[in-house]
Structure 1
Amino acid sequence: MSSRRGGRVKRRPQRNFARRILVVTEGIRTEPQYVELLNRYLRSKSTTAVVKSMGVGADPFRVVEKSIELRDVAASNDKQYDFCVCLVDVDDHSTLERASRLAERESVLLLVSNLKFEVWLRWHSEDKRSALSSSQLDRQVAALKLTSEKSLTPRFPIECVDDACRIARSTDPAMKAGRTGPNPSSAMPLLVDLMRGAS
């Protein structure tokens, strides 16, 4: 610290340390695009998360394994993550239960969407809770102009994330990491909370 005229002491501004969140997804396009868009949107509202998103394109068990691998490599390079999150779908995966057990053992937050991630995207545009087949859900999010060819559209309404959170929580009041909720459901509000600074 250095002195200034008049006896005042110049203090360095206190540094805010952003929490670091690793998000590993089953999808290789839509989910990483969404997480990056959400991160930009929340940072514009003064949220201080540093989020790294990576799509694996495999079954839930492989997604959890990959997240552990990435987390451990980062820790060995002194770049620890505060939270490790995996986004997976129910679909027809036979490894979901094993993935949930591994995630719990490794303190990884496994967030499940039932039937799949597009349920969460749909709730940014409409409050409909009917259970649709995978192909019906794809057609619906495309009709709502939320996705095009498995990518988010340029005008995806990310500002409606609070509406999506409200719908998801009312659909699945017992929401928690590692649990598969009813069809339709998504545990994505837990990631939104983390990115906003909730513990």
Structure 2
Amino acid sequence: MARDNAPRERQKKQLERKQGQRASYDRILIVSEGSKTEPNYFREIRAAYRLHTANVEVRSSELGTAPIQVVQYAQEPFENGDRHKSIQRRAFEQIYAVFDRDDHGSYHDALTRAEQLNGKLRNDTRQSVAFQAIASVPGFELWLLLHYEDVQAPLHRDEVMRRLKRHIPGYVKGSSNAFAITSEHLAVATARAKRLAQRFSAHTDPEPFTAIVDLVQRLTTLHR
């Protein structure tokens, strides 16, 4: 009996269509620890700046939420592709692994592994791929809080949430409109995060730090 190749042909056509929709700027893969908060935020930016979904892929880690698992999973769709989502193997120029410090035991291992991978992978055009850890100390919500307050000393994640809710009543993790609510203060948050980066780094925890600013700046200037 002849084998039905229709599903394979449909996948091939979907992939060809997605490739045809790509823009000229870099292809970016963002993998986050969180399943809703961070993906929703970056998808909001993608929509607000009209970035091609074929160029900016946002997904959450399917291996687990530990930082090292986020870094490991970021390699997986890059190296193996994802036929269900029409993603080709090695079809990115930049990879970002987004995770929090919190109390994760593998946090520093994840930072080290990301540094080891940076520039070592090759994509489908034989270019070296930028691989960057986007870490936040203590967590992602520090970035949102910087839109309203200048933080210069360590804060527990519970205190960050408490302060953030004073500015955004009803805020909960997984909110789908965090960028829309905070974007009018983006320039202020960027300046504050950059000042923190002059004093601290992802390696100096528990001092406050967030590299979310780097990824936000990359996305908001991607098509210029």
Task: Name the TM-score, length of structure 2 as normaliser.
Answer: 0.69
Paired positions, count: 179
CA distance in 2, matches of 1:135, 1:119: 11
Aligned to 2:112: 101
Match of 2:217 among 183, 186, 193: 193
Contact 1:41–1:158 (Cα < 8 Å) also in 2: no
Aligned to 1:170: 195
Aligned to 1:144: 167
Gaps of 5+ in 2: 1-21, 119-130
Higher strand share: 1
Contact 1:23–1:86 (Cα < 8 Å) also in 2: yes
Q: CA RMSD in A?
A: 2.7
Contact 2:29–2:58 (Cα < 8 Å) also in 1: yes
Contact 1:172–1:181 (Cα < 8 Å) also in 2: no
CA distance in 1, matches of 2:36, 2:198: 29
Aligned to 2:57: 52
Contact 2:96–2:133 (Cα < 8 Å) also in 1: yes
Once structures 1 and 2 are overlaid, which stretch shifts more, 125-134 or 30-39? 125-134
CA distance in 2, matches of 1:88, 1:32: 12
Deviation digits for residues 165-188 of structure 1, max 9, x if unmatched?
110001121677xx4355211011
Contact 1:18–1:48 (Cα < 8 Å) also in 2: no
CA distance in 1, matches of 2:67, 2:214: 18
Task: Name the TM-score, length of structure 1 as normaliser.
Answer: 0.77
Aligned to 2:124: none
Gaps of 5+ in 1: 1-14
Q: Percent identity?
A: 24
Higher helix share: 2
1:103 Cα offset (Å): 1.2
Aligned to 1:121: 144
CA distance in 2, matches of 1:128, 1:174: 12
- Secondary structure of 1:165's counterpart equals helix
Deviation digits for residues 94-113 of structure 1, max 9, x if unmatched?
11121122212222200111
Aligned to 1:161: 186
